[in-house]
Amino acid sequence: MSFFIFLFLPATILWLFYWAVVRQSIVDSVEDDLANLKDQVAWNIINNSAGSRTKSAQRLIEEVEDNGFVGWISFSQIALHLFKNRAEIKAESARELATFEASPKWIRDARDANARLTIKAALANSPVWWIPLPIILLSAIFSKQVLDWWNDAGTTATQLRSNNFGNAIPA
């Protein structure tokens, strides 16, 4: 019995340390990076950068405008939503590809940074996914289908974070 106590106590302390200090630091840095990204996009729009009046720029503004739910989004939620609404996500990804394909580099880079930061926050909130994640990413190198799934997960994460799917995340 004392073996389980000595095993459970350090595990609990490490888990609480992660959840209170490490995770919070990661989420705070993501929130700061998203705020900087929002300012960068606004600055490019104000300066009339190339493509700042296009549909892709307006869509990007909508995506980076809402930084809500960064502290609560989880990768399990993204995977579940991606699994349940696969056809809708595929259609949305195709629309986004058509919208952002011919856009200037700064818009594509900002969109990629937005998705990457949202996935980072989701993974910080979901440490259980750290075990299968290397397998998923290695599979993405060798399989286009897994790479498409990973890209769709980024799209889903961004949309879930900004609550573009209606009531996907309770307010």
Instruction: Please report the pLDDT score of residue 68 as a whole number.
Output: 66
Q: Dig out the tokens for 8 from the structure.
A: 């459970």
Instruction: Please report the pLDDT score of residue 171 as a whole number.
Output: 35
Instruction: Please report the pLDDT score of residue 165 as a whole number.
Output: 43
pLDDT digits (tens, 9 = 90+) for 19-30: 889 889 998 998
How many CB atoms are closer than 10 A to CB 19?
A: 12
Instruction: Please report the pLDDT score of residue 163 as a whole number.
Output: 60
- Torsion over CA of 22, 24, 29 and 35, rounded to 10 degrees? 170
Exposed/middle/buried for residue 110 (C-beta within 10 Å: 0-12, 13-18, 19+): buried
Residues in the chain with pLDDT values less than 50: 164-171
Name residues whose C-beta falls within 8 Å of residue 27's C-beta, 6 or more positions apart in sequence: 70, 71, 121, 124, 125
